[in-house]
Amino acid sequence: MHLKQNGYLHSALAITFLVTALVACNREKETITNSPAYPFIQSEKLIIPAAIALPQNLPGGNSRVATYFAEGVQKYRSQQIAGSSPATYEWIFVAPQANLYDINGDKVGTHSAGPSWQLTGVNDSIYGQQFSPPQFAPGTDASSIDWLLLKPQAGRAPTGIFEKVSYIQRIATAGGKAPFRLPNGPGETVDVIYTAMYRFTKINP
């Protein structure tokens, strides 16, 4: 009987240890997931689609200048579909409106119409434009906006830390796509929540 009781005790202790370890593991995983650095870490593991991959630019290659996490909305407005009778409407993209965060979770700037990226309180800004033809890849699900490869906008030289940037990548998007339902009429607007990672890269001499 004494041996059996010891066996029960050892089993109970083993189960308690296992449960404690699992709880600690889950807490650690939750802490990592909730960390401001988490989206940065995850984005570095992504496979970038060929459609938006950076040119090799040999022999010097490329260097990352900055990476920011964006959280905000993609803004849309209704517009009548040309020639529709009776009038039917579709969503037309207007502009992004988002805050930019660094790896520590600090707000460091904004992303807005242009498209443009502006760091707060300093003369660091860049405007982007599409390549011709546009370079994009679908988001990872039906509600997510495309991943993009952009270049600095002609006639608007980047400033500050963006001065030598040649490429802007939008990756790891979540949300932001126009609603599946069509607008009910003219003058309708909608803001669709989204997040994304923006990478800014220069060509090495």
pLDDT in tens, 58-80: 999 999 999 999 999 999 999 99
Q: With CA atoms as reference, report the closest residue to 169 among 14, 13, 62, 37.
A: 62
Residue type, 35: S
In this prediction, residue 42 carries a pLDDT of 96
In this prediction, residue 92 carries a pLDDT of 97
Q: Tokens 């994009």 correspond to what residue? A: 136
Q: Tokens 């490429």 correspond to what residue? A: 167
pLDDT > 60? residue 184 = yes
Range of the structural domain that residue 30 is part of = 2-34
Residue type, 175: G
Are 30 and 52 within one domain? no
Domain count, the chain: 2
Residue-wise pLDDT tens digits, 80-118: 999 888 889 999 999 999 999 999 999 999 999 999 999
Are 152 and 185 within one domain? yes
Residue-wise pLDDT tens digits, 145-183: 999 999 999 999 999 999 999 999 999 999 999 999 999
Give the CB-side neighbour count of residue 103, counting CA atoms within 13 A. 9
Are 178 and 85 within one domain? yes
pLDDT > 50? residue 135 = yes
Are 127 and 160 within one domain? yes
In this prediction the pTM is 0.83
Are 68 and 14 within one domain? no
The answer to whether 72 and 94 are in contact (CB under 8 A) is no
Are 186 and 168 within one domain? yes
30: left (phi over 0), alpha (psi -120 to 50) or beta: alpha
Q: Where are the beta strands (DSSP E) in the chain?
A: 62-80, 89-101, 107-112, 116-119, 125-137, 147-152, 165-175, 189-203
Are 85 and 164 within one domain? yes
Are 21 and 58 within one domain? no
Which token pair is 25? 């593991």
